[in-house]
């Protein structure tokens, strides 16, 4: 296993154990609450560091239940100069408008954007009349603003953003693309209450590609709950390949994965190198 290069400055009191898994740093927290606070503190420290070195920082936001408490903490903090932060997000359903409650732009507006004043938020326009042109527009913006920090959650099938196992590519030639969603992913949208029925869940979505995500200078990924334990085990102990897109995070030298005890419950932690 490769030695992780990251340090846990300032968050050790919230992390019960830390491990190196290839290039990835795994932080184990006792609960989802402590996980969110540890992740938030690491984000605050990193953004402060970046802004001490450059005028602005570019942050890519994730959505979903894994991000709620993290975003709530960041929305309430006075330790980030949001006027110097440029925001993007990972993905959006095809054909959905920003005001619809299932839209990821709506999620981010309610959870974060209403409470802060970023320099700019660039949203993926899910309702765009020309979807391929929207991919080009977003690609151009990302090219202008290299990603300093990217938030992630892990899908039950190991997807990152909407890079499903069938379409994920660690060396994707595209920065943004349109993909067909796996049935399991669409069902999750219903189970979490974002859509009233499977028939209402779009079959396609925009996503930042894995190659774009892995270009980020730093990645902070969160997973909690027993429902994530199986895929976390596959991600961290299986072969690194696109059949489990999240496994690619083990190749990134500045990724920190925050897990609670439940998400880590199927791991044999004795085989990992301690931080």
The one catalytic residue among 22, 69, 91, 260: 91
Query: For this structure, is 156 an active site residue?
Result: no
DSSP 8-class letter at 255: E
CA 243 to chain centre: 18
Query: For this structure, is 157 an active site residue?
Result: yes
The one catalytic residue among 157, 163, 252, 260: 157
Query: For this structure, is 191 an active site residue?
Result: no
CB neighbours of residue 116 within 10 Å: 16
The one catalytic residue among 134, 164, 172, 260: 164
**What region does 69 belong to: left with phi over 0, alpha with psi -120 to 50, or beta?**
alpha
Dihedral, 45, 215, 108, 9 alpha carbons, nearest 10 = -20
Query: For this structure, is 140 an active site residue?
Result: no
DSSP 8-class letter at 267: -
Q: What is the layout of strands, in order, in the sheet containing 176-180?
A: 91-93, 204-208, 176-180
The one catalytic residue among 37, 89, 159, 252: 159
- Tell me the C-alpha distance between 120 and 163, whole Å: 25
Tokens representing residue 50 in the block: 């970046």
Question: Residue 231: enclosing H or E segment and its boundaries?
Answer: helix 229-237
| Catalytic residue annotation | 91, 157, 159, 164
């Amino acid at each position: 296993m490769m030695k992780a290069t990251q340090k846990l400055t300032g968050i050790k009191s919230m992390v019960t154990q830390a491990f190196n898994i290839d290039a990835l740093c795994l932080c184990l927290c006792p609960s989802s609450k402590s996980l969110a606070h540890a992740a938030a503190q690491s984000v605050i420290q990193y953004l402060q560091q970046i802004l001490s070195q450059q005028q602005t920082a570019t942050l890519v936001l994730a959505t979903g239940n894994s991000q709620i408490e993290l975003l709530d903490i960041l929305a309430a903090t006075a330790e980030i100069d949001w006027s110097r932060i440029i925001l993007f997000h990972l993905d959006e359903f095809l054909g959905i408008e920003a005001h619809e409650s299932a839209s990821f732009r709506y999620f981010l507006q309610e959870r974060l954007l209403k409470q802060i004043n970023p320099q700019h938020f660039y949203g993926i326009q899910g309702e765009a009349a020309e979807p391929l042109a929207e991919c080009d527009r977003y690609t151009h913006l990302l090219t202008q603003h290299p990603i300093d920090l990217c938030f992630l959650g892990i899908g039950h099938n190991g997807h990152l953003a909407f890079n499903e196992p069938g379409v994920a590519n660690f060396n994707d030639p595209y920065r943004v693309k349109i993909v067909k969603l796996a049935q399991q992913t669409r069902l999750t949208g219903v189970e979490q209450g974002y859509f009233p029925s499977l028939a209402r869940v779009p079959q396609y979505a925009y996503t930042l590609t894995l190659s774009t995500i892995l270009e980020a200078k730093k990645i902070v990924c969160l997973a909690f709950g027993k429902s994530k334990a199986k895929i976390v085990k596959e991600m961290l102990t299986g072969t690194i390949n696109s059949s489990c897109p999240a496994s690619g995070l083990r190749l990134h030298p500045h990724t920190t994965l925050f897990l609670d005890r439940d998400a880590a419950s199927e791991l044999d932690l004795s085989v990992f190198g301690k931080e």
